[in-house]
Amino acid sequence: MPKETMSFSIDVLSILDENGYADRGLMPDIADHQIKSFYEAMVLARILDDRILKLQREGRCGTYASSLGQEATQVGSAFALKDEDWMFPYFRETGSHIVRKTPLANYILYWMGDERGMKISSSVNNFLECIPVSTQVLHAVGAAFAMKHKRRNNAVLVYMGDGATSKGDFHEGMNFAGVFRLPVVFVCQNNQYAISVPVSMQTASGTIAQKAIAYGFDGVRVDGNDVFAVFAATKAALEKARAGKGPTFIECLTYRMGDHTTSDDATRYRSKEEVDAWRTKDPIERLRRYMESKGLWTKDYEDFIRKDSEERVEQAIREAEGMPEQGIEDLFSFMYEKMPDKLAEQLKEAKGE
Ligand SMILES: Cc1ncc(C[n+]2csc(CCOP(=O)(O)OP(=O)(O)O)c2C)c(N)n1
Ligand SMILES: [Mg+2]
């Protein structure tokens, strides 16, 4: 039998460079007002992120996972979704939640440790934040299976980190999605660390995108600090999913500029030089440069959106802090549609009935 070589490839996509120049041939069709929406959501995400970090330092908020530096990955991908699609976030999703209309007060409330902030809304198809690493992948794939079964033509987008791609849940989900050609898009926020563990110690694979090949579907790597590339790749993948052509895996190469969470100190495991090098790739700066060159950005516009974002965040904090205390019932009723008998008994006891 003659020897044969089978070869596989993944696309690597980058449209907007660090200086704000966009490759015209690759640029997706995006109206000016939409480019401004991208920018405004990214600025709001950064302001909200910074404010929650300060609230945590003041003891007004619980442990928080910052999205600093990952705004283009989150905003670009979430904007590619249609309202009827489903989003399954993980725990580092400030930008995605902003785009998907999670009320800011709810988002803050959740990080204050109050799960009322993450109740699934009936108006937007968002699942709730998922703290256990990678388990959301199975939930998302299950939802995509249901969409296919019910012949709905909406798609599912699930986010995960680079570390999450080493979990069994991830591989089971990828395999199931490939076998059943499910309408799901996997968006990996490769911020290059899983707490203190760098990607090189997480996997021997040259890219994370190539893992998709083993499961029989396309993997693509995009510059995760390039909002246009993230948007274009996600939009194409979602269209493919809705057309019944199966899943796609998108690796967004980005960098976690902050600590893992407010309980971490990243200076203990990575160098200042490394962080400074990534500062020059800032996703907001490069979009601003592009917009300025197209006459879409002025100092007045910047001042206006900053002030507006700050006011929205302050108002949301007032709302979250003004929420009436949670009743003890919520501790028991949140998990199940119908409360199991055992829990009902415990609730009665807790209320002294
Ligand atoms: C099942 C599970 N194991 C361990 C943890 C503790 N933990 C929280 S975040 C994290 C690393 C996640 O890294 P990655 O997937 O790259 O996401 P990132 O935090 O970098 O966004 C770990 C191990 C957890 N939350 N859930
Ligand atoms: Mg990571």
Which residue is catalytic, options 100, 260, 286, 288?
260
**193 CA to middle of ligand 1, Å?**
9
Q: Is 162 a pocket residue for ligand 1 (Cβ < 6 Å)?
A: yes
Per-residue confidence in pLDDT tens, the chain, 353 aa: 789 999 899 999 999 999 999 999 999 999 999 999 999 999 999 999 999 999 999 999 999 999 999 999 999 999 999 999 999 999 999 999 999 999 999 999 999 999 889 877 778 899 999 999 999 999 999 999 999 999 888 999 999 999 999 999 999 999 999 999 999 999 999 999 999 999 999 999 999 999 999 999 999 999 999 999 999 999 999 999 999 999 999 999 999 999 999 999 999 999 999 999 999 999 999 999 999 999 999 999 999 999 999 999 999 999 999 999 888 887 787 778 888 999 999 999 998 88
Q: Is 133 a pocket residue for ligand 1 (Cβ < 6 Å)?
A: yes
Q: Which atom of ligand 1 is nearest to the CA of 190?
A: 16
| Cα Rg of the chain, angstroms | 21
How many angstroms separate the Cα of 339 from the Cα of each of 120, 332, 353? 18, 8, 17
Which residue is catalytic, options 256, 286, 288, 290?
256
Give 105-149 pLDDT, tens digit per residue: 999 999 999 988 987 777 889 999 999 999 999 999 999 999 999
**203 CA to middle of ligand 1, Å?**
15
Q: Is 218 a pocket residue for ligand 1 (Cβ < 6 Å)?
A: no
pTM for the complete prediction?
0.95
How many angstroms separate the Cα of 84 from the Cα of each of 153, 242, 337? 9, 11, 23
**278 CA to middle of ligand 2, Å?**
15
Respond yes or no: is residue 269 known to be catalytic.
Answer: yes
pLDDT at 327: 84
Cβ 262 vs Cβ 56: under 8 Å: yes
**151 CA to middle of ligand 1, Å?**
34
Cβ 113 vs Cβ 323: under 8 Å: no
Cβ 190 vs Cβ 249: under 8 Å: no
Respond yes or no: is residue 171 known to be catalytic.
Answer: no
pLDDT at 331: 79
Q: Is 13 a pocket residue for ligand 1 (Cβ < 6 Å)?
A: no
Give exposure, 113-140, as e/b (b: 16+ Cβ within 10 Å).
ebeebbeeeeebbbbbbbeebbbbbbbb
Ligand 1: residue of 93, 195, 259 to mutate (most ligand atoms within 8 A of CB) is 195
Q: Is 132 a pocket residue for ligand 1 (Cβ < 6 Å)?
A: yes
